[in-house]
Structure 1
Amino acid sequence: MKDALYTPEELGEILKISKYTVYEMIKRGDLEAHRIGRSLRISEQQLDRFLKKQGSGRNVLSGTVKDTDNGKAFLINGLEILVSTPLAGDVQIHIPP
């Protein structure tokens, strides 16, 4: 299997972040990289692992926004969470950790 290798600069362009942020992520251990001589390369597999670790789908809840006596509420599994939103109907919300 042939895995594409990205430079920190290329990965920065893909993720819409600076190359310096990519270097920091590698330094912190958030993102794995291969050292080839004095250069760093990130494989597609390492990028996929990083993105999965970031949990892009974590803390996303599906439910319904309805008007109630108390105002708008997000309803999920019988739980009613009061919200301030112009949305109505079936929605997904993200709750930051």
Structure 2
Amino acid sequence: TETLEPHIPSTLMSSATMIRCKLDLVLNTVNRLQKDVAALNQAVQAQGEAIEDLRVGLAANTIRCDDMYMLLTNMVGTVNLILEGKQTFLLFSAFP
């Protein structure tokens, strides 16, 4: 005979005891589900924080890339001015 409790066969169990066992099972399941939901909420919050950290990092990298682009643009402009100056110098020095 199947038993819900080790010492009491299910056929001898009173209706009240059977209901109590079922309610205990439901309560345990609800408690476990509440813990699972709490763990999932923590995981979702941690993921949200990680995504925000990533967004901030990407924004900072974008600013650094923009700064690097401006620096390189200025360097290219300076090199072009130097080269133009040398060409002008060579042009004038070719005609004494």
For normalisation by structure 1, the TM-score amounts to: 0.24
Instruction: Identify, as 1 or 2, the structure richer in helix.
Output: 2
Higher strand share: 1
